């Protein structure tokens, strides 16, 4: 053995081969999982790479229009709220624009045409919430949604009338 050198460890191909196989299988699994998504859970504007949950979060580069209960300066998403019958919730629309600056562009934001919102209550009753013109820093809008006092417990949904509709769900109950 030479001075100032660590001793050489003998390794046979029998020892290395399982490690190489494990590394290769792990890389293949990672590659396959990176393409995973649940296309049955989409809302909002389409994108070749977009996957969305029922309340509008997205993995695409440009954010499509979405609805939630958070103001423009609030978090992207929060826990699903429970609204008591006879109470109200404020619903916010965000990014109702045809502009996409995902590659660093600085094009001015152009609002989409007027947006019509509808509320579907548990049990199926439908209430028209009105028409809204997107504007402001996030090309959005907001509306106060009153849940009728006689509404049964369950899931209520607010949705828009866009070609690729955005929807926001909240619970009605005590």
Examine residue 27 and state whether it is found in any structural domain, yes or no.
Answer: no
Domain holding 108: CATH number? 2.60.40.1930
Range of the domain at 94: 40-172
The span from the CA of 107 to the CA of 79, in Å, is 33
Residue 25 lies in a domain: no
Q: Is residue 26 part of a domain?
A: no
Report the 10 Å Cβ neighbour count for 170: 20
The average confidence (pLDDT) of the chain is 79
Residue 19 within any structural domain of the chain: no
Domain count, the chain: 1
In a domain, 11, yes or no: no
Cα–Cα distance, 59 to 165 (Å, whole number): 17
Structure confidence at residue 128 as a pLDDT band (50, 70, 90): very high
CA pair distance 21, 14, nearest whole angstrom:
11
pLDDT digits (tens, 9 = 90+) for 146-163: 999 999 999 999 999 999
The model's pLDDT over 35-69, given as tens digits with 9 standing for 90+, comes to 444 333 334 444 433 434 445 544 446 889 999 99
**Rounded to whole angstroms, how far apart are CA atoms 14 and 6?**
23
pTM: predicted TM-score of the whole model, two decimal places: 0.65
């Amino acid at each position: 053995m030479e001075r100032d050198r660590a001793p050489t460890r003998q390794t046979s191909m029998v020892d290395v081969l399982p490690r190489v196989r494990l590394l290769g299988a792990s890389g293949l699994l990672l590659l396959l999982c990176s393409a995973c998504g649940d296309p049955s859970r989409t809302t909002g504007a389409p994108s070749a790479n977009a996957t969305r949950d029922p309340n509008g979060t997205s993995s695409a580069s440009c954010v499509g229009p979405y609805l939630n209960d958070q103001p423009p300066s609030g978090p992207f998403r929060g826990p699903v709220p429970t609204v008591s019958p006879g109470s109200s919730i404020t619903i916010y629309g965000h990014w109702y624009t045809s502009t996409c600056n995902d590659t660093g562009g600085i094009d001015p934001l152009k609002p989409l045409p007027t947006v019509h919102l509808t509320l579907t209550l548990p049990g199926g009753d439908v209430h028209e919430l009105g028409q809204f013109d997107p504007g402001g820093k996030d090309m959005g809008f907001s509306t106060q949604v009153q849940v009728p006092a006689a509404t049964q417990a369950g899931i209520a949904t607010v949705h828009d009338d866009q070609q690729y509709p955005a929807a926001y769900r909240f619970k009605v109950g005590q």
